[in-house]
Structure 1
Amino acid sequence: MSADGTDIRSRSPGEAERDNLVRYESSLYGGRPTFMLVRRETDGGAEWTLDELLPTEQAEARRDRLERGGRSLCIRSIEDLLERLHGVDTPAEYEGWAWSGWMGAKVARLDPTRVRALQDVVRTAVEGTPADPDEVLRGGDGFVFLPESAGIRLAVAFRGVKPLQRVDRMRSLARGVARMSDEECYYWHAKCRSPSSPNGEKALRVLLTDHIE
């Protein structure tokens, strides 16, 4: 519920934009967070799932473009992103944003080995935002919202590390992404997700890990 007694979840995005909302940088969406990182504890350790948050129409259009190019994209409701977490508030209750008409477009889910390799990248990215890094870096389930620049840096790291098998290569890629400027991250993010650039992720891995024997 909002301060005036209105059910936040029933309000439109425009109606939800109140002065006391946490803002995640300026954006086309009025400071709304544009990425969401979820931590889920499993028997083998922590998993991370990164999703980009988009209006439903944009998420569906992106999925359709990728499918025409022979690639896939999983899109889910915001509620679905958190359905396996325990004792965690929904985003609407947590930050006050209205989520009707919004979807999560999955970037990647990482297993515990890859989570460990990217700890420093995630900590640095989250520390520069309104989010609390402990929500996704310490034990237990949790999630954080992220602004565009932090989310894009993590998207590059997540996509790059996902198919790697050797820990030394994972760590090399993580260090390389950590050293990138925001402009470089935006470039590689666009290259990795573009339907017209199917080898973008491979090129990123070659750039950051090919020096390892």
Structure 2
Amino acid sequence: MAEADAGHVQRALDAVISAVRASGHRPSALAPHRPNPIALSETAGVRLALTLLTIAPLSRPDRIQAVTSGIAAMSVEETYYWYALSTGPSSQRARRALRVYLSGT
């Protein structure tokens, strides 16, 4: 699981919309006044959580775009692998490694 404030969600809006669509919902289901959470499929939720966890400390738009595009292009197995590393005991190091791997800096 991952939590994100409005700023992080805005930076990862494409990933949020992709997760909503992949879970069988329309993008119009996203609304600030929505009373209930949107149920995501496991795969879409893992991909979105990995995106939000990885871009959290980033501020440069080019790096954010590189990371979100890289995660979107990953296979399901690779996404689960990086998610497991990013939520494990050395999660900060794994997230940093993924940011470097995907953005090249």
The interval holding the TM-score normalised by the smaller chain is: 0.7 to 0.9
Distance apart, 1:130 and its partner CA: 3.1
Q: Is the 8 A contact 2:85 2:91 kept in 1?
A: yes
Higher helix content, 1 or 2: 2
Give secondary structure in 2 for the equivalent of 1:146. coil
Sort the Cα spacing of 1:196 and 1:118 in 2 relative to 1 into closer, same or farther, 3 A: closer
What's the Cα RMSD here?
A: 1.8
Q: Is the 8 A contact 2:22 2:41 kept in 1?
A: no
Q: How far, CA to CA, are the matches of 1:197 and 1:169 in structure 2?
A: 19
Higher relative contact order (CA 8 A, sep 6+): 2
Name the residue aligned to 1:146.
40
Runs of 4 or more consecutive aligned structure 1 residues displaced over 2 Å after TM superposition:
114-117, 130-133, 139-143
Distance apart, 1:197 and its partner CA: 4.8
- For residues 14-29 of structure 1, what are the structure 2 equivalents within 5 Å? none
Distance apart, 1:165 and its partner CA: 1.6
Distance apart, 1:155 and its partner CA: 0.9
Sort the Cα spacing of 1:116 and 1:197 in 2 relative to 1 into closer, same or farther, 3 A: closer
Give secondary structure in 2 for the equivalent of 1:141. coil
Q: Is the 8 A contact 1:149 1:182 kept in 2?
A: yes
TM-score normalised by the chain length of structure 1:
0.44
Name the residue aligned to 1:171.
65
Distance apart, 1:109 and its partner CA: 1.3
Deviations 1:55-92 (A, max 9, x none): xxxxxxxxxxxxxxxxxxxxxxxxxxxxxxxxxxxxxx
Name the residue aligned to 2:94.
200
Q: How far, CA to CA, are the matches of 2:90 and 2:55 in structure 1?
A: 21
Aligned length: 103
Q: How far, CA to CA, are the matches of 1:156 and 1:197 in structure 2?
A: 11
Sort the Cα spacing of 1:154 and 1:140 in 2 relative to 1 into closer, same or farther, 3 A: same
Deviations 1:13-54 (A, max 9, x none): xxxxxxxxxxxxxxxxxxxxxxxxxxxxxxxxxxxxxxx4xx
TM-score normalised by the chain length of structure 2:
0.84
- For residues 45-64 of structure 1, what are the structure 2 equivalents within 5 Å? 52=1
